[in-house]
Amino acid sequence: MSAVLLEVEQLSKSFGGVQAVQNVSFHVKKEEIVAVIGPNGAGKTTLFNMISGIIPPTSGLVRFQGAVVTGKKPHELATLGMTRTFQNLQLFSDMTVVENVMVGFHPRLKSGILSAGFRLPRTVKEENEAREQAFSCLEQVGLVHLAWKRAGTLPYGMQRLVEIARAAVSRPSLILLDEPMAGLNPQESKQLVDVLLAMREQGFTFLFVEHDMETVMSIADRIVVLDYGKKIAEGSPGEIARHPDVIKAYLGEEAARC
């Protein structure tokens, strides 16, 4: 049994009178792939934004590697080893692909404004290291040949891979993926699934929000189901597929449509 990496305890968020997330608890273990699913408006993105420090929770706790991190800023969490991607891509579109990924290596470098400005040997060494790491990460997602292209000019599916490489290059212990399959065609989705599974083999841990049930069922070790801001089920893909509440709330709609 491997160690627990992330614990979410009784996390809640209300916007005005609306309870977007209510008392949600679950955990993620090392080298797991955990999916959060739920119908539109179930509070998945809100939950994600609270875990990654973008918005503060109304109540509840987030524990990461044993320490309470509720209220920490996103950049502090990244330094502790938790990074994320975004549903609507947030690439730095005017920077090249490799520069994008090198930004992801930021927490592993130390050069400040003076060391960088005077180009001290330490900075030169760090820059080389960052570039090497970025290239090896790009190689992993199969984008090395596009390293010097402006990120904004890449097709959507490749931009998503860049975003994942960027989130992974600092070797964080946990990566949050917000709807990684959104907007991808079936071929791109398959490529992304392969990349994620290969990364898991190397010891990466993922927590992701997703709509695409096929992907969720094929790569998640465990699934947490939200509906109207509450957790209604948690279990293996097999258990979730048979769970009556889940079928009613979510899969039911899909099954009826198909």
Partner 1 sequence: MGMEQYRRMVDRRKQWLLLAGAAVWLGLPWLVFGNNYVLSTLILIGLYALVSTGMTLLMGYAGQISLGQAAFYGIGAYASAYLTAHAGWSPWLALAAGAVLAALVALVVGIPVFRLREHYLALATLGFGVIMFTFFKEWKGITGGLNGFFGIPTIRIGGFSLQSDLHFYYLVSLFVLAGLWFAHNIVRSRVGRALRAIHGSEVAASSLGVNITKYKLQIFMLSAVYASIAGSLYAHYVTFINPDLFGIVPSIYFLIMVVIGGSAHVWGGLIGAAVYVCLGEWLKAVVPLLLPNAGGEFEIVFFGLLLVVMLIYMPNGLTGVVAKGMSKILEMSRHQKKQVAPTENHNARSIGGERG
Nearer to partner 1, 56 or 117 (CB): 117
Q: Is the dihedral of CA 216, 100, 64, 58 positive or negative?
A: negative
Q: Is the dihedral of CA 140, 144, 148, 149 positive or negative?
A: negative
Binder among 117, 155, 203, 252 for partner 1 (CB under 8 A): 117
Query: Which window, 29-37, 74-82, 229-237, 247-255, contacts partner 1 (CB under 8 A)?
Result: 74-82
Are 68 and 10 in contact by the 8 Å Cβ rule? The answer is no
Residues 152-171 touching partner 1, rule: CB under 8 A, are 166-167, 170
Does 17 engage in binding with partner 1 (CB under 8 A)?
no
Q: Binding pattern to partner 1, positions 96-115, x when CB under 8 A?
A: ---x--xxx-xx-x-xxx--
Kindly give, in sequence order, each residue whose CB lies less than 8 Å from that of residue 140, ignoring residues fewer than 6 positions away.
165, 195, 198, 199
Binder among 90, 153, 185, 236 for partner 1 (CB under 8 A): 90
Nearer to partner 1, 119 or 242 (CB): 119
141-144 long-range contacts, CB within 8 A, separation 24+ = 141/165, 141/195, 142/191, 142/195, 143/97
Binder among 26, 86, 208, 250 for partner 1 (CB under 8 A): 86
Quick one: which of 165, 197, 200 has its CA closest to 30?
A: 200
Helix 121-140 to helix 156-168 angle, to the nearest 10 degrees?
130
Cα radius of gyration rounded to whole Å, the chain: 19
Binder among 4, 61, 116, 213 for partner 1 (CB under 8 A): 116
Q: Binding pattern to partner 1, positions 238-257, x when CB under 8 A?
A: --------------------
Query: 70 in the Ramachandran plot: left (φ > 0), alpha (ψ -120 to 50) or beta?
Result: beta
Residues near partner 1 (CB under 8 A) = 52, 54, 73-75, 77-79, 83-84, 86, 90-95, 99, 102-104, 106-107, 109, 111-113, 116-119, 123, 126-128, 130-132, 135-136, 138-139, 142, 144-145, 147, 166-167, 170
